[in-house]
Amino acid sequence: AGRTVLFLPLREPGLAAAIGREMEELETQGRATMLFLKRLQQIELAPLGARARTLRCEAGADDATSVVVVEEVAADGADARREEHPYILHRHEVPIPSTVAAPAVSASFSTQLVLAFPAATAASA
C-alpha cells in the first residue's frame, strides 16, 4: 500500500503552535473523527527537537469495535505515552430509493450508516 507523507516547512513560529493546538483538539474531543476517515490511517506531528504525536485508528477484535490510539514520544525517544480509546460501532445499511438516488435509473441503492459510541474501559468505570 502507498504512503503519503507531507512535510510542511513552518517558517513562522506561530504556525507550529497553531498546528499543535489543532492536534491537541484531535487527540481529545476530536479523536473519534479518525473512525470515519477511512483513507487516512495516521496523523503524525513531529516538530524538530520536540515531542512527536501520533493519532491513528486501529481495528478492534471484531467488526463492531475500533480503537483510536494517541501516542506521544520525546524527541530523544526516551519518554513515551500511549492512550487507547475504544469505541463500539453500530453499522446500519440504509436503503435509498432509486427515485432519490437517480430518477432515471430503476435500480435501488444503499449506503452504510456508522454510529460510534465511546466504550467504557476499566480506567473509566
Write down the pTM of the prediction: 0.65
Q: What is the pLDDT of residue 88?
A: 92
Cβ proximity of 66 and 56 under 8 Å: no
Whole-angstrom Cα distance, residue 111 to residue 41?
22
Cβ proximity of 54 and 33 under 8 Å: no
Cβ proximity of 55 and 42 under 8 Å: yes
In the chain, which stretches have pLDDT less than 70? Answer: 1-3, 48, 98-107, 122-125
Q: Which residues of 3-27 are buried (b: 16+ CB within 10 A; e: fewer)?
A: eeeeeeeeeeeeebeeeeeebeebb
Whole-angstrom Cα distance, residue 114 to residue 22?
25
Q: What is the pLDDT of residue 105?
A: 59
Q: Tell me the residue type at 118.
A: P
DSSP bridge partners of 1: none
